[in-house]
């Protein structure tokens, strides 16, 4: 049976919101890279799509890694998590760089939440180094390196999921 998160209303998410700006996300990715620089070198970076695409690009640039692949797994829509579905696996030539088990490969994602996606990717390449920018307690044990831990009930609003809009002053009743 799939682990299904309840659908959250905008009001429910707003009470547990952690908005992240582009500037903050870039700083957090660079901080992640500083930690990873001490662990590498890495033969390739593997982004978990879609959330891992932006941090993987930043990390790969900063580490000087030119081989970048994706593993495409669908689990979320914008409100709930359902069954995991592998849409695209790791390319055979990239997997060979890690000796078939992932040694010397770096997996990057934006967030580890329940750990279900991380566990699936870990099965594919168990010896790869797994890094995320943000980690929640349930998924944190599956990640080797991360920057910021947030509570399990926090909803992270990533910069690619939001738009700049006017916010009324707090004195006018803004949350």
Catalytically active residues, by annotation: 109-110, 113
Kindly list the strands in the beta sheet with 145-149, ordered across the sheet, starting from the edge strand earlier in the chain: 81-88, 68-76, 44-49, 105-112, 129-135, 145-149
| Token pair in block for residue 28 | 């957090």
**DSSP run (H or E) holding 109:** strand 105-112
Count other Cβ atoms within 10 Å, centred on residue 28: 19
CA distance 28 to 148: 8
- Asked whether 110 and 133 are in contact (CB, 8 A), the reply is yes
Torsion on CA atoms 82, 51, 44, 25, rounded to nearest 10: -150
């Amino acid at each position: 049976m799939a682990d299904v998160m309840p659908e959250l209303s905008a009001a429910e998410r707003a009470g547990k919101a952690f908005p992240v700006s582009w500037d903050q996300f870039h700083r957090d990715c660079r901080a992640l890279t500083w930690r990873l620089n001490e662990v590498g070198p890495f033969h390739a970076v593997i982004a978990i799509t879609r959330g891992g695409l932006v941090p993987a690009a930043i990390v790969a640039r900063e580490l000087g890694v030119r081989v970048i692949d994706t593993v495409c797994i669908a689990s979320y829509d914008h409100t709930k998590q359902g069954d995991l579905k592998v849409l695209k696996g790791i390319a055979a030539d990239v997997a060979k760089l890690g000796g078939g088990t992932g040694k010397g490969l770096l997996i990057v994602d934006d967030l580890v939440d329940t750990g279900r996606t991380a566990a699936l990717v870990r099965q594919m390449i168990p010896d790869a180094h797994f890094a995320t920018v943000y980690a929640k307690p349930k998924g944190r044990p599956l990640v080797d390196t991360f920057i910021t831990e947030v509570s399990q009930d926090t909803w992270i609003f990533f910069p690619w999921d939001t738009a700049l809009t006017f916010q009324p002053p707090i004195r006018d009743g803004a949350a």
